[in-house]
Chain A
Amino acid sequence: MRRYLRWLSYAALVALTAIYVAPFIWMALTSFKTSFESTRVPPTWLPEEFTTHSYETLSRPASQTPVFRWFMNSMVAGIGHTILVVVTASMAAYPLARMEFRGKRVLFGLIIATLFIPPIIFLVPNYLIVDGLGWIDTLLAVAVPGAAGAFGVFFMRQFFVSLPRELEEAALIDGANHFQIFTRVILPLSKPALATLAVLSFLTNWNDFLWPLSVLIDAQNLTLPPGLTRLQGAYVTDYSVIMGGAVVASIPVLALFVLAQRYVVEGVARTGLKG
Chain B
Amino acid sequence: MASGEATQGRPIADTRRKLGGRERSLGVGRFTPYAFIAPYLVLFVAFVLYPGVSALWVSLHDWDYLLPNKPFVGLENFIELFTAGSPTGGFFWQSMQATAQFTLYSVPPLVVLPLLVALLLNRRFRGRNFFRAVYFAPYVLGVVVVGMLWRYLLDPNIGVVNYYLERLGFPNDIPWTNGLPWAWIALTGMTVWWTLGFNTAIYLAGLQGINRDLYDAGKVDGATSWQLFRYVTLPGLRPVFVFVITVTLLASANMFGQSYITTQGGPGNETRTAIMYIYEEGIVNFRMGKAAAMSTVLGLFLAVVGILNFLFFNREVD
Binding partners A and B: yes
Q: Which of B54, B145, B306 contacts A246 (CB 8 A)?
A: B145
- Nearest to A162 among chain B residues (CB) is B4
Residues of A within 8 A of B253 (CB): 118
- Closest beta carbon of chain A to B238's beta carbon, Å: 10
For the side of the interface on A, what is the size category?
A: 35 or more
A125: which of B5, B58, B159, B302 is its contact (CB, 8 Å)? B58
Could you tell me if B131 and A13 are in contact, using CB atoms closer than 8 angstroms? yes
Which one of B140, B157, B193 has the greatest number of beta carbons of chain A within 10 Å? B140
Residues in B neighbouring A144, C-beta threshold 8 A: 43, 47
B198 and chain A: residue at smallest CB distance: A268
- How long is the Cα–Cα vector from A266 to B6 in the complex, in angstroms? 22
Check if A173 is an interface residue, CB within 8 A of chain B. yes
Select B40's contact among A20, A89, A225, beta carbons within 8 Å.
Answer: A89
A-facing mask of B40-62, CB < 8 A → 1, else 0? Answer: 11011011111110110010000
Query: Given B3, B32, B274, which contacts A95 in the complex, CB threshold below 8 Å?
Result: B32
Establish whether residues A123 and B278, one from each chain, have CB atoms under 8 Å apart when the complex forms. Answer: yes
Q: Are A270 and B120 in contact (CB under 8 A)?
A: no
For B125, give the chain A residue with the smallest CB separation.
Answer: A10
Q: How large is the interface on B (under 10, 10 to 19, 20 to 34, 35 or more residues)?
A: 35 or more
What is the chain B residue whose CB lies nearest that of A166?
B7
Complex-state Cα separation, A214 to B275, whole angstroms: 13
Query: Judging by beta carbons under 8 Å apart, are B201 and A224 in contact?
Result: no
Nearest-neighbour CB distance to chain B for A150, whole angstroms, equals 8
Which residue in B33, B158, B283 is a CB contact (below 8 Å) of A104?
B33
Q: Are B138 and A20 in contact (CB under 8 A)?
A: yes
A residues 186-224 touching B (CB-CB < 8 Å) = 203, 206-207, 209-210, 213-214, 224
Q: How far is the CA of A46 from the CA of B50 in the complex (A)?
A: 54
Q: Which residue of A lies closest to B246 (CB)?
A: A275
Binds A, one of B79-87, B146-154, B178-186, B216-224: B146-154
Contacts of B298 in A (CB 8 A): 118, 120
Residues in B neighbouring A62, C-beta threshold 8 A? none
Q: Which of B10, B135, B202 contacts A20 (CB 8 A)?
A: B135
Q: How many angstroms between the C-alpha atoms of A112 and B163 in the bound complex?
A: 49
With A254-B137, A261-B133 known as contacts, the answer to whether A99 contacts B148 (CB < 8 A) is no
Nearest CB on B from A10, distance (A):
8
Contact with A along B261-291 (1 / 0, CB 8 A): 1000000000000110011001100001001
Residues of the B chain whose Cβ atoms lie less than 8 Å from the Cβ of A100: 11, 13
- Verify if A185 is at the interface (C-beta below 8 Å from B): no
A229-B40 contact in complex given A118-B299, A207-B141, C-beta closer than 8 Å = no
List residues 58-113 of chain A with CB under 8 A from any CB of chain B. Answer: 84, 87-89, 91-92, 94-101, 104, 107, 110-111
Q: Is A243 an interface residue (CB 8 A)?
A: yes
CB distance from A40 to the nearest CB of B (A): 7
> When A123-B279, A214-B283 are in contact, do A264 and B295 touch as well, CB less than 8 Å?
no
* Complex partner residue of B202 from A88, A161, A268, CB under 8 angstroms: A268
Tell me, in angstroms, the Cα distance from A179 to B33 when the chains sit together.
10
Chain A residues, CB < 8 A from B36: 91-92, 94-95, 178, 182
Q: How far is the CA of A203 from the CA of B140 in the complex (A)?
A: 7
Residue-wise, chain B 102-144 has the 8 Å CB interface mask toward A (1 for contact) of 0000000000000001001100010001011111111011111
- Within 8 Å of chain A (Cβ to Cβ): is B168? no
Q: For the complex, give the distance between the alpha carbons of A114 and B141 in Å.
A: 26
Query: Are the CB atoms of A165 and B158 closer together than 8 Å?
Result: no
The secondary structure that dominates the A interface is: helix
* Residue contacts A-B, CB under 8 angstroms, 28 given: A13-B131, A16-B131, A41-B157, A41-B158, A41-B163, A43-B159, A92-B37, A95-B33, A120-B295, A121-B55, A121-B292, A122-B51, A124-B283, A125-B54, A147-B43, A148-B47, A158-B1, A158-B4, A164-B8, A166-B7, A178-B36, A224-B142, A228-B145, A249-B142, A253-B140, A269-B206, A274-B1, A275-B243
A interface, CB within 8 angstroms of B: 9-10, 12-13, 16-17, 19-21, 23, 26-27, 30, 39-43, 84, 87-89, 91-92, 94-101, 104, 107, 110-111, 114, 116-129, 131, 144-145, 147-150, 153, 158, 161-166, 168-169, 172-173, 175-179, 181-182, 203, 206-207, 209-210, 213-214, 224-226, 228-229, 232, 239, 242-243, 246, 249-250, 253-254, 256-258, 261, 264-266, 268-275
The chain B residues found within 8 Å of chain A, CB to CB, are 1-8, 10-13, 15, 19, 24-28, 32-34, 36-37, 39-41, 43-44, 46-52, 54-55, 58, 65, 117, 120-121, 125, 129, 131-138, 140-145, 148-153, 157-160, 163, 193, 198, 201-202, 204-206, 209, 239-240, 242-244, 247, 250, 253-254, 256-257, 260-261, 274-275, 278-279, 282-283, 288, 291-292, 295-296, 298-299, 302-303, 306
Given contacts A178-B28, A207-B140, A246-B149, 17 further A-B contacts (CB under 8 A): A30-B152, A41-B158, A43-B163, A88-B43, A120-B295, A145-B47, A148-B44, A148-B47, A158-B4, A161-B4, A207-B142, A214-B279, A229-B260, A232-B148, A254-B141, A265-B136, A272-B247
